[in-house]
Structure 1
């Protein structure tokens, strides 16, 4: 359902169509009751008809209504109008962090660390409330005119009420490979250290002007995360203090046990950079042992395709038999 400027949806008057995704439309709207500018997220029929995607929307409703922090977009409620559910959040007057990265990266270390510190603080609050974002990336962060980051889109969030949900349960293309942790790529649900990996990736990008792992397609990028040597930020971008490079390298460790145990430990190192142990730069950047092909994303993609093809063949043969 596409709404036009000036249309009224429940108690909201549509101001602007902000974005159209595969599963929902996002509008800037005026709340006729409160008199506030808000953001209205309305799922389309495809999302409502897809159990996994609709569960994602419902989870976002629950999460956004529980979290209240300067670095997190505030949920203002939810409702249903003409049998269509919707989510209402605060309107954040700012620009996407993706635009900030494009315009300002590589950033001076002090500026990049200050920005990441605020993001990490918001995520520490989330983790304290048993919410793991699992899709942190510049596209899901807004930067206000006061340089305050605001984290948005908790559709992939893992909560204590949804422990059964794995990353693989959602969709094969859920998330963005540039910021996905190795455990996500392998189909695990992840934990708070998954968000730490994404924060480290964003800090690397702010300082270097590009992500640590890149490739021509998703499969190549995912294999880089699983197998390539972790690049040293201070070698990629000479002039970066080794202490900051060590923080990034620890965030990007493939084994979650080798990363910071929680976001507050990362924040502590950002607060005391002079005291950061840099020995990880010598022992933590080697290439990983090759992942067996049967565990690789490529194998899984091929396997799923073969299974789908076999199912089609079986159905076709069965249909042919019924005709006879």
Structure 2
């Protein structure tokens, strides 16, 4: 038998092959080096021998198409691909450490630890979706964490990209994926809805906090189809101390219909980052599975069994932004606050899935000792939270779409910018005050935010009477990403 071209010491397109580090069912991984690349590398080789699953070849082609188009800390960097005419491969960076699969013997994890892990994964998913990719195989063995803390999503053989052909969809009729984590709509052929990844992440969060998979270990298509009408046991039925906010998040991710889940991974990450502000519904207190009547109604209602598909990943994200508005409750004039409210209403009106984060900065002194109570003995932080909710009340937003945040910082502009970055804010609305000598010398908060934010920024000026008696406001152009 001819020697395989891939073996220790072989040279493929300048890559020197080292040891085989993993032999999986669809591909093998080899350590490789190249003189001009100073970081550890892995070469992934598909299994193409006689009798191998044809889907393994197609999924490898998808990985070859998608990986070179990805960038950022949440994906492995790609350094080369080889075609099937000579030797098919992809070369990616070798991320130190193990996948989350290695943590399964430790389950269940503490709630706070699981929350931190899944927040990082949701953040990675949000970044991936913005690059027009749906992963379709979110599970413990597809997730790693960099030493710097960022979650990294690996294995893109089952993924689809908005701007690339979906070879799996074109060539196969059966859904491919990991059965315990597969979203219901995947069983009906829907592959262009990013909320499928949120369902899988909900399964992972359920599993990591209860040590029980919500839909069991079944691998049969018939068994998997039950999730089209059958909900899982609520986590609190398995663990009496399960936090209501966490059950709310988990069960929202596991809604059978995609429209019942979080609209975006960024909004899921936001709720995980602010558990004290999660809007609790009947999900949070649910102690039993749905009644048999509800289950049978789902089973024989074709509208529910065949969920609606979204237009594409970009459209889903664009329709569900996170908007942050900076409200100055201490010094803000009624005119400016009214203008800010009007701007927020106009931006949110065509976006029913958008959410609004009202932010106020409690400015700290650089060298003074700050007091938590004001002259009337009220807690400053709590008082401003109340004021923010009062400011937002005329907008009449559903409680699930509104959060309020008081940040304590010496530099208000930096605090708002950091909040926007940490919470994947898509749009910042901030007021600009009238000119003053101090602001001329030191620069304004709104100017710094407009200059440095990596998202769209709208700057609203207090209304002034223009010719003809019309109130006017100014809006900044979107900041460059």
With CA pairs under 8 Å and 6+ residues apart, which has the higher RCO, 1 or 2? Answer: 1
- The 1-side partners of 2:235 and 2:170 are apart by 31
Root mean square deviation of aligned Cα: 3.1
Q: Could you say which residue in structure 2 is the equivalent of 1:193? A: 195
Q: Residues of 1 paired with 2:277 and 2:73: CA distance?
A: 28
Query: In structure 2, how many angstroms separate the alpha carbons of the residues matched to 1:77 and 1:152?
Result: 16
Partner of 1:305: none
Q: 5+ residue gaps in structure 1? A: 295-324
Residues 180 and 82 (structure 1), Cα distance of their counterparts in 2 relative to 1, 3 Å cut: closer
CA displacement at 1:147 relative to structure 2:
5.4
1:315 paired residue number: none
**Counterpart position of 1:308:** none
The farther-off stretch of 123-132 and 66-75 is 66-75
The 3 A distance-change label for structure 1 pair 168 and 178 is: farther
Q: 1:214 aligns with which of 187, 210, 216?
A: 216
Question: Of Structure 1 and Structure 2, which has the larger fraction of its residues in helix?
Answer: 1
**Paired residues, number:** 294
1:286-306 superposed Cα distances (whole Å, 9 cap, x missing partner): 2633636x9xxxxxxxxxxxx
Q: CA deviation at 1:280?
A: 3.8
> Which stretches in structure 2 are left out of the alignment for 5+ residues?
303-481
Aligned-partner SS, 2:28? strand
Match in the other structure for 1:309 = none
Matched, 1:177 2:179: yes
The CA distance in 2 between the partners of 1:74 and 1:261, in whole Å, is 28
Matched, 1:110 2:112: yes
Given that 1:184 and 1:190 are in contact with CA atoms closer than 8 Å, whether structure 2 keeps it comes out as no
Could you say which residue in structure 2 is the equivalent of 1:319? none
* Structure 1 residue matching 2:295: 3-state secondary structure: coil
1:16-31 correspondence to structure 2 within 5 Å: 16-31=19-34
**Structure 1: how far apart are the matches of 2:167 and 2:43?**
26
Alignment partner, residue 14 of structure 1: 17
Question: Aligned with 1:195: secondary structure?
Answer: helix
In 2, Cα distance between the equivalents of 1:252 and 1:98? Answer: 21
Q: Say if 1:71 and 1:118, in contact at 8 Å, map to a contact too.
A: no
Among 95, 108, 112, which residue is 2:98 paired with? 95
Q: Judge conservation of contact 2:179–2:224 (CA < 8 Å) in 1.
A: yes
Measured at CA, do residues 274 and 114 of structure 1 come closer, stay the same or move farther in structure 2, by a change above 3 Å? Answer: same
Structure 1, residues 41-92: CA drift from partner, whole Å, max 9, x if none? 1223359x98765443232123222222322222223235971122110001
Tell me the TM-score normalized by structure 1.
Answer: 0.80
Residue 104 to residue 52, structure 1, CA distance change in 2 (3 Å): closer
2:14 and 2:175 mapped to 1: Cα distance? 35
1:42 to 45, 63, 68: 45
Alignment partner, residue 273 of structure 2: 271
The Cα of 1:96 is off from its aligned counterpart by 1.9
Quick one: structure 1 residues 2 and 142, their matched pair in 2 at CA, closer, same or farther if it must change by over 3 Å? Answer: farther
Describe the SS at the equivalent of 1:92. coil
1:32 equivalenced with 2:35 (yes/no): yes
| Secondary structure of the structure 2 residue equivalent to 1:277 | coil
User: Normalization by structure 2: what TM-score?
Assistant: 0.55
Change (3 A) 1:162 1:55: farther
Rg larger in 1 or in 2? 2
Q: Which moved more, 1:155-164 or 1:219-228?
A: 219-228
Q: CA 1:81/1:63 → structure 2, altered by over 3 Å: closer, same or farther?
A: closer
Q: Answer yes or no: is the 8 Å Cα contact 2:97–2:145 preserved in 1.
A: yes
**Residue 58, structure 1, aligned to residue 61, structure 2:** yes
Aligned 8 A contact 1:214 1:220 in 2: no
Structure 2 distance, partners of 1:97, 1:188, is 27
Distance 1:146 1:161, change over 3 A: closer
Q: Is the 8 A contact 1:77 1:87 kept in 2?
A: yes
Separation (CA, whole Å) in 1 of partners of 2:138 and 2:219: 20
Taking structure 1 as reference, are residues 214 and 275 closer, same or farther at Cα in structure 2, changes over 3 Å only?
Answer: same
- Over 3 Å counting, the alpha-carbon distance change for 1:83 and 1:258 in structure 2 is same
Moved over 6 A (4+): none
The correspondence for 2:74, drawn from 63, 71, 74, is 71
**Deviation by residue 1:171-228 (Cα, 9 ceiling, x = unmatched):** 7362111000001122322411000101111111111112111145434641342232
Residues 225, 168 of structure 1: alpha-carbon distance in 2 compared, 3 angstrom cutoff: farther
2:123 to 121, 126, 149: 121
The residue that corresponds to 2:299 in the other structure is 291
Whether contact under 8 Å (1:56, 1:155) holds in the other structure is yes
